[in-house]
A and B are shown apart, each in its own frame.
Chain A
Amino acid sequence: MASRFLETERLAERLDFLARSGLREVRLLGGEPTLHPAFEELVEQARSGGREITVFSNGLMPARALDCLADLPVWQCTVVVNVNQPDESEQDYYRQRETIRRLGERAMPGFTIYRPDFEAEFLLDLIAATGCSPVIRLGLAHPCLSGANRFLHPNQYRAVALKIVRLARAAAQTDIRLDFDCGFVRCMFSDTELERLRQAQAHIAWECSPILDVDLDGKVIHCYPLAQFMSLPLTPSATTAQMRSEFEARTRPYRQTGIFPQCSACPFRAAGQCSGGCLAATVRRFRRTPFQIEMPASERGAL
């Protein structure tokens, strides 16, 4: 059984993997990576040689982890703090807010939309009050293959798009911009709404590509939602380019469609303007249906 925490000596293999691939940014994610008992040691290893680190955290981190990150140079450290709506847990929100305040410019608030009745305007006040990076990293909650997590169904994208545009416009008034995570689709926005997003300096992309995560077992996965779908071993010679290429080849059959039945005939997709949405949501559309049919042998004539 895999350890619950990454053994610190195994980090070197992952750093070598990044070095072979010419990457100078290390991303630490989890679970909650700051709960690692040797988190400070991991951070020191990760940033050695001038590498930049990005930590994906829920902001409810132990004091020593916070101290460690808050002491790093701003240029070298970004902490994406995924914030909950205050009404979901006031206590958590208070702690997240204090974490962000302490991290200052190192912190970038992240918000994952998993229900259509989300309200994210509170982030504008949060940014103003804490002095963190004036960028909101906005994500859609995608399904893992089992569908056991809380996620947004593609049929709900249109409803959230309207709120996203409103949020982007309100954010732009205070020089805050939205940065979009993977899995957004072109058709969730009208042309007018897209123009409004552009005017609000919102950086939207329609991507779903292998971002590559290395799990505790040393397996490379396409992304978290597809962790149970396919993985590749982290070999001593592997590079991110090779792995991406391998994942792209293996997922190509599923990429013929997208999150909607209309995706395969979509002009945006045909023109390369949209990936067809999250691959995990696409794969979940596929069915496995056992059936059998009994055909009389041809010599027997009519059925």
Chain B
Amino acid sequence: MRNIAPSGLIDYGSSATWHSVFVLPIVEHYLLYAPLHNLGAVIDRVAVQRLRDALSMGRDTGVEPIDDILATLRIRGEPAPMPRQGPLQPALLGLIPTRSCNLACEYCGFLDPAGANQVMNLNLAREAIAWYLNLVHSSGIETAEVHFFGGEPFCAEEVLDFAYHFASLRSRELGCAVRFEVVTNGTFSEERCRWAADSLDTIIVSLDGPASIQDRHRPRKDGRGSFATVARNLNTLSEGSAELSIRVCVTSETVDAMPDIAEWLCQSYRLVSVCFEPVQPTPQSTAAGLFPPDPWTFALRFIQAADILECHGVEPVYAAADITARQVSFCPVGQDGVIVTPDGTLNACYLVRSDWEARGLNLCLGRVEEGVPWFNDEAVEAARRLNVWNKPFCARCFCRWHCAGGCHVHHELPASPGTYDPLCIQTRLIATRNILNSLERDDLTSFLWQHPEALARMAGQPSDLLIDFEEGP
């Protein structure tokens, strides 16, 4: 067994090549995939065998198309993503203006009884932003990223306004740009909606579908539906400058409606992307009778929805299967992301503390004390260690550099190779579709799904590494 830990990359040329070249069976074809070389190709079994042998022996095959692939693989691709080292360099600053929310979503796990109604102090926002922008400036980064999470960020509008203006003023002084992104339930006033459309760069609105779904999943606290307000605001946001994305939470009840939801969203609003995510099981969701969809069905419906979205020029997103990503961590954790909570703690994760503590994780990086952000170096290093290099289960999976093992809190990785859980299955199925789509071979995706046994073989393949390719029958 080859060493796949970061230290294994001392012999970069061979090790990185061997451990970043994958092959997936697509019925009688094979998909060769080398993400770090930006290479994908549909080849046959003989070519796979020749490639494997030629790579291990360091010689050409004499077959021109295969030698072309070999030549590409021998040229060093991008470096393998590595965990961060050295001084903290946040990929983004997340602000949680408040954990409170005006909705009572049936599946919401963002329950933080301790700080539910706490609103971030303006000075705290100021100090965190000043620290972050100074860091961005001194690092020579051109564009800072300030993201607002909740609860519902617009339940603390003043914090949002203040943070927006302070970051704008300060970044102007420093000569760097700043991008603002908000994740919201979209139930704000019309006046606030116009402001958001004109001021922010990206607005991600949670909308689970038409009224019948949205009002069941995401009612207001008084029991009334939220759909009408969200729909009105999406019309306004569709006219604005901000990039508008929709996040759809999918349950076993709604999974079959995904293609229809995609078509409806495209016909109704001007969107940049639509993200479908299965519902995260919580005691609340279970009590409400909302369950995650079957991963095979989710993947199939996602693929159908993706085709519709792409036809309309809208990017389909299932975050774990983003094949443009090259990362060691799926989320801000491990990427030095700093999330400021209303009580002044600085976390690596925007989930509530009890969630990560339940997994035995400490994602608290520090806190703002007397106006100065203070970080615990050990906590920062511990967060950085939450990376895919330390997830041996992922070492032989072609999604390794894309999903990077998924959410550190919610995705408990299986114990043995090939025993993929539902999240792995749907990620592998969708990522395969995305790769074939990028190769303009959607025909092979359709072909694969017409052959359930072949599909299961591909999705459940214990190792995708070319080096592990077996001759078979």
Contacts and interface: CB of A to CB of B under 8 A. Distances in A.
B248 interface: no
28 contacts: A116-B312, A116-B313, A116-B314, A117-B266, A117-B311, A117-B312, A117-B313, A147-B239, A153-B238, A153-B239, A154-B241, A155-B241, A155-B270, A155-B272, A156-B270, A156-B313, A158-B313, A159-B312, A159-B313, A160-B313, A162-B313, A163-B313, A261-B198, A261-B241, A284-B239, A285-B198, A287-B194, A287-B198
B244 interface: yes
B442 interface: no
A186 to B, nearest CB: 18
B243 interface: yes
Contacts of B311: 117
Interface string A158-190: 111011000000000000000000000000000
A158 B239 CA distance: 16
The residue in A260, A261, A287 that gathers the most chain B C-beta atoms within 10 A of its C-beta is A261
Interface string A134-148: 000000000000010
Of B238, B239, B272, B313, most A-chain CB atoms within 10 Å: B313
A153 B270 contact: yes
Contacts of A162: 313
A260 B313 contact: no
B198 A155 contact: no
A153 B197 CA distance: 13
Indicate the size class of the contact surface on chain A.
Answer: 10 to 19
Given A117-B266, A153-B270, A285 B313 contact: no
Given A147-B239, A287-B194, A155 B312 contact: no
Interface in A248-292: 260-261, 284-285, 287
A144 B307 CA distance: 31
A117 B266 CA distance: 10
A23 B313 CA distance: 41
Given A261-B198, A285-B241, 16 more contacts: A115-B312, A116-B312, A116-B314, A117-B311, A117-B312, A147-B239, A155-B241, A155-B270, A158-B313, A159-B312, A159-B313, A159-B314, A162-B313, A163-B313, A284-B239, A287-B194
Specify which of A117, A162, A284 lies most central, judged by the most chain B CB atoms within 10 Å of its CB.
A117
Interface string B140-172: 000000000000000000000000000000000
A284 B313 CA distance: 23
Contact of A260 (B194, B238, B241, B244): B241
In the A-B complex, the 8 residue pairs with the closest CB atoms: A159-B313, A116-B313, A117-B312, A153-B270, A117-B311, A261-B241, A116-B312, A156-B313
Contacts of A287: 194, 198
Interface in B408-437: none
Nearest to B308: A117
Contacts of B266: 117
Contacts of B243: 155
Interface string B255-266: 000000000001
